[in-house]
Amino acid sequence: MLRIKRVPTVVSNFQKEEGEEGARAGGGGGGCGRNCLQKCCIPGAKLPLYAFKRLNKISGEKDLLKPDDKEPPVAFLDSLLLGEWEDRAQKGLFRYDVTACETKVIPGECGFIAQLNEGRHLKKRPTEFRVDKVLQPFDGSKFNFTKVGQEEVLFQFEASEENEVQFFPNAPIDVENSPSVVAINVSPIEYGHVLLIPRILECLPQRIDRDSFLLALYMAAEAGNPYFRLGYNSLGAFATINHLHFQAYYLAVPFPIEKAPTRKITSFNGGVIISELLNYPVRGLVFEGGNTLDDLSNAVSDSCICLQENNIPYNVLIADSAKRIFLVPQCYAEKQALGEVNPELLDTQVNPAVWEISGHMVLKRKKDYEEASEANAWRLLAEVSLSEERFQEVKALIFETISCGDNGNPSVSELLLEEEPDDKPKSLEEGDALNKSSRHHAMVSGECLVLH
């Protein structure tokens, strides 16, 4: 069993140190006293509800301009999300004021973003995390989002029953209806940092399914702002809570991963275009296009499902209002557990989750912030990336899985396996030199075995 020790991020004020859990107050008539989202406190509870309109098509922005399109009652991002978030900031629910954290764009081609955040990891003991199992069953005895206080929940988010956006400032929490909610992250890494928790009361483990992924795309589309992105970390790729959730925040700067050149690999069913990142320290796939939001969503979620079922940790970035999605399989935690990561990099205690991989680096030490350079960021991310060889294997696996049911076209994966790696950009080859663990991998009936 592979484990790493790391300081877990405190996402809720109700998240206790391991072992402290269970120290509940009273449990008398008025709920557990924490005003949480469990059976004890839900009866009678109300939260704002934002119901989005289902789309049939990825527009043409033209669709947005149709005269019959009514202006929604509430602007999702600018009014609802930011307003509720600022309200919680005024109420002092966050552990620190993230706008007081210094941040800068690191000079260079890529434009990595560095933030000095000394408060995020204070007062927590390092905890052991198992990193060799991407799918683990939900464990109700550990922290999960039903234990957060209702004041940390901003609103419910669901598909509208009518054919239009609806907003209810005070909607009861309908337990039967499996509400999805948006809650604050009390350790934000940028303004508006929230968590989307699909069907929160069903207590789903951290695992992508088609419906939940589509919900995340709808949230990005509803925000309608390319600088409001959603991210996902699988277990083994720096998710710390095994309760299905996406993260999201607002940062009006292009992320380096979004600026990286890409090479189109194939068009997929439903008009989804799949490309490969070039000249970026982490190897990954980019999904865009698609005749409908469902097409795009399914192509990505099916790829995620393939990865998690094959026990390959990964991160997902939903960018550009759900028009571009980055899928990055990674192996950092595994390398870390095997003692293969350069100690200097470990010293920075940077956990390369989705935001770091996308180029937004949250640094804990002033020294690292001041010395932050493109070369350093590149070096860290190169350790996160799969080796070229392994990436090609994983890519083939994904294409094989998702092109099942894809009629007619020759198997894409067959073509890809024949690809000559000689057109590889230089910088990636340098990354390969660091990437020693590739030799430890072997494909056995689609399983990723770690040989050591």
Residues near other proteins (CB under 8 A)? 58-62, 65, 71, 73-74, 78-80, 82-87, 90, 97, 99-105, 107, 111, 113, 166-169, 191-192, 226-227, 250-254, 258-259, 261-267, 271, 288-291, 320, 323-324, 408-410, 412, 415-416, 419, 423
With contact defined as beta carbons under 8 Å apart, do 156 and 167 qualify?
no
Smallest gap from residue 264 Cβ to other proteins (A): 6
Structure tokens at 7: 């300081």
Write down the catalytic residue from 121, 245, 440, 441. 245
Smallest gap from residue 192 Cβ to other proteins (A): 7
Q: Which residues pair with 442 in a beta bridge?
A: 449
With contact defined as beta carbons under 8 Å apart, do 5 and 128 qualify?
yes
Tally the residues of the chain.
452
Smallest gap from residue 107 Cβ to other proteins (A): 6
C-alpha span between 273 and 264 (Å, rounded): 7
Residue 180 or 321 having the CB closest to other proteins: 321
Residue 90 or 445 having the CB closest to other proteins: 90
Residue 17 or 97 having the CB closest to other proteins: 97
Residue position matching structure tokens 């699988």: 234
Q: Taking Cα atoms as reference points, which of 320, 323, 265, 263 lies closest to residue 292?
A: 323
Q: Taking Cα atoms as reference points, which of 334, 330, 312, 332 lies closest to residue 443?
A: 312
Q: How far is CA 410 from CA 391, 392, 401, 404, 406, in A?
A: 21, 18, 13, 11, 9
With contact defined as beta carbons under 8 Å apart, do 292 and 56 qualify?
yes
C-alpha span between 11 and 119 (Å, rounded): 13
Q: Which residues pair with 66 in a beta bridge?
A: none
Task: Please tell me the number of Cα atoms within 13 Å of 38 on its side-chain side.
Answer: 16
Residue 43 or 83 having the CB closest to other proteins: 83
Smallest gap from residue 142 Cβ to other proteins (A): 32
Structure tokens at 16: 């206790």
Smallest gap from residue 64 Cβ to other proteins (A): 8
Q: How far is CA 436 from CA 2, 114, 156, 379, 382, in A?
A: 18, 27, 45, 14, 11
Active site residue 441: no
Residue 17 or 429 having the CB closest to other proteins: 429
- Residue 424: burial class (beta carbons within 10 Å; 0-12, 13-18, 19+): middle
Residue 79 or 136 having the CB closest to other proteins: 79
Residue 4 or 398 having the CB closest to other proteins: 398
C-alpha span between 401 and 274 (Å, rounded): 14
C-alpha span between 271 and 274 (Å, rounded): 10
- Residue 70: burial class (beta carbons within 10 Å; 0-12, 13-18, 19+): exposed
Residue 67 or 137 having the CB closest to other proteins: 67
Smallest gap from residue 236 Cβ to other proteins (A): 29
Residue position matching structure tokens 């592979």: 2
Smallest gap from residue 267 Cβ to other proteins (A): 8
The residues that are catalytic are: 245
